[in-house]
Amino acid sequence: MSQANIPQNSFERTNYQKGLEFAKAGRHEEAFGMIDSYLSSFPNDCEALNDAGAILHCLGRSQEAVGYLLKAHQFQSDNANIVSNLIEVYLALGMPDEAEKLFDSAEQFGALGPDIINRIADLYVNQGNKSGAVEVLLRSIRLWPNQEIIRYMLTVIKNKRPKIAVFCGADGMTFFNHINVYLNERFEIRVFEGSTQQELNELMQWSDISWFEWCTDLAVAGTNAPKVCKNIVRLHRYEAYTNAPGQVNWQNVDVLITVGNSAVKEALNRAAPAAIQCKTHLTIPNGIDLDKITFSNRQRGKNIAYIGNLRMVKNPAFLLQCMQKLHNLDPGYKLYIAGAFQDGTLEQYVSHMIDALGLQGTVIFDGWQEDINRWLADKNYIISTSVIESQGLGIMEGMAAGLKPVIHNFPGASEIYSQEYLFNTTEQFCEQITGRQYDPSAYRRFIEERYSQKQQLDSVRGVFAQLESQIDSEAELSKSQIYPNNNTFSNPVQMQNFR
């Protein structure tokens, strides 16, 4: 109920005004009684609910205040006073995680200041949650860069956190670069650049947590060395089909992260049954950096995109069969390929079949693209005919840009993508392309809701927070050592005054 719906000359309204006067005079018990009585007649008055919550907080009854303020927030989520008061109550109750959830709203209303953020960080630290403290302090620095004391405190906390070693085998840092940047802001981190077992052992000895990117040679070497730290192995896809997982000492692995779907897990289970039984097994999908993918609310057209280097697992033979069937229906459709051949035999075959199927001028090879946004600008569909994928990042980049996905139903595909995006036969492929359903916003939203890079990094943060908690517990670290001179960042601010 809005204030305008309340009779201004009603008896209840008069008592409400008296309640406010009592509150301003410091007579909080009487004030709450009158306002609570008023709320029995007008239970949805957001201003009264907010005032009742503020008064209860002043009385030291903050737990009760939460109920009133949450109800007010439910009815009026865009009220800066309600949001500010909720944050203050959560701080008083020692609930920094709940206060942090209101940051975005508070920032939107201009009610978020460095004092609030830094007090929440202080609470996190006092509760032994260095991960939470670092996150809110990093936000404080991003919003207000000229805070040298906060930069100093970040350095102090980072020095108290586990040291991270990264061992990147196989295909290198391609899928780890953004995680590396993320971790560098939060931990002391070193990336292995050596070439000998001794150098590997020395870096593991230095670290508290070792991350093995790709389940290949370095993961085998590291997990078979004497265990001196927590070990994380991240397996993408193809490693599950090699001999390496069977050579890993899974008893020395604390966390296994798989990127792919159940089909990849099945292959891993066949190669190394012990892997699935390791202490913690998580699936964390790769994330798409949506800030780097330009969305366009494009129209239906006839340009089909394929992103990725061409090799057997990508099933280019089937891709040509699909295009041949579509070409027979409408020769106006074109397939554009952003990628290079990785197999001379395959390149020869594809070239031969393009001639044999009469697809000259229909299949265009554009090579690897440094600027994928520019290349996708005039495309309408993104296609995959792979026999297996962990996810298919090229597909997801295309969807994020607004292209309609047309995906061969590889094992596990239905766990990643909606059934409406999948096809089994060349006939179904043509139906997907020529059908009238075309909704670029829905394709972008699909990625935003399921596969954003933020979601991936939040999951990675959870892994390190869990291991950090274990390390702290095992070492019995003293929380008092985190701050050298004091235990607060700033003085508390007051609740928003009732009117």
> Could you tell me the residue ranges of all domains in the chain?
3-112, 161-286, 290-450
pLDDT single digits (tens) 421-433: 999 999 999 999 9
User: Which strand (E) or helix (H) includes residue 394?
Assistant: helix 393-401
State the average pLDDT over residues 476-483: 48
β partners of residue 407:
384, 422
pLDDT at res. 498: 42
pLDDT at res. 499: 37
State the average pLDDT over residues 348-377: 96
pLDDT single digits (tens) 161-191: 999 999 998 778 989 999 999 999 999 999 9
Query: Taking the chain, what is the end-to-end CA distance rounded to the nearest angstrom?
Result: 18
pLDDT at res. 485: 53
pLDDT at res. 491: 39
- CATH code for the part of the protein at 3-112: 1.25.40.10
Query: E strands along 284-369, which residues?
Result: 303-307, 334-338, 363-365
pLDDT single digits (tens) 308-336: 999 999 999 999 999 999 999 999 999 99
Confidence of residue 11 (pLDDT cuts 50, 70, 90): low
**Rg (the chain; Cα; Å):** 29
Confidence of residue 8 (pLDDT cuts 50, 70, 90): low
User: Which strand (E) or helix (H) includes residue 423?
Assistant: strand 422-423
Q: Where are the alpha helices (DSSP H) in 109-163?
A: 114-126, 130-143, 148-160
pLDDT single digits (tens) 20-61: 999 899 999 999 999 998 998 889 899 999 999 999 999 999
What b/e string do you get for 310-345 counting C-beta neighbours within 10 Å, with b at 16 or more? beeebbbeebbbbbbbbbeeeeebbbbbbbebeeee
Burial of 370 (0-12, 13-18, 19+ CB in 10 A): exposed
CATH topology agreement for domains 3-112 and 290-450? no
Helix (H, G, I), strand (E, B) or coil at 382: strand
State the average pLDDT over residues 120-132: 92
Strand 255-258 with 280-283, pairing? parallel
The span from the CA of 307 to the CA of 401, in Å, is 13
- CATH code for the part of the protein at 161-286: 3.40.50.2000
Side-chain-side CA neighbours of residue 249 (13 Å)? 11
pLDDT at res. 489: 41
Question: Cβ contacts of residue 117 below 8 Å, gap of 6+?
Answer: 103, 136, 137, 139, 140, 143
State the average pLDDT over residues 226-240: 95
Is the pLDDT at 494 greater than 50, yes or no?
Answer: no
Helix axes 130-143, 148-160, angle to 10 degrees: 150
pLDDT at res. 113: 85
Query: 53-62, 269-278, 486-495 — which one is most confidently predicted on average?
Result: 53-62
Answer with the residue of higher pLDDT: 440 or 147.
Answer: 440
Question: Cβ contacts of residue 119 below 8 Å, gap of 6+?
Answer: 91, 488, 489, 490, 492
CA neighbor of 457 nearest in space, from 251, 271, 179:
179
Side-chain-side CA neighbours of residue 323 (13 Å)? 34
pLDDT single digits (tens) 279-289: 889 999 999 99
The span from the CA of 64 to the CA of 73, in Å, is 15
The span from the CA of 23 to the CA of 41, in Å, is 20
Class of domain 290-450: alpha beta
The span from the CA of 456 to the CA of 492, in Å, is 34
Angle at alpha carbon of residue 173, lines to 170 and 176, rounded to 5°: 120
Is the pLDDT at 479 greater than 50, yes or no?
Answer: no
Is the pLDDT at 481 greater than 60, yes or no?
Answer: no
- Plot region of 326 (φ>0 → left; ψ -120 to 50 → alpha; else → beta): alpha
pLDDT at res. 180: 96
The span from the CA of 377 to the CA of 266, in Å, is 38
Burial of 217 (0-12, 13-18, 19+ CB in 10 A): middle
Per the listing, tokens 């517990």 go with 473
Read off the amino acid at residue 176: F
Query: What count of other Cβ atoms lies within 10 Å of the Cβ of residue 376?
Result: 26
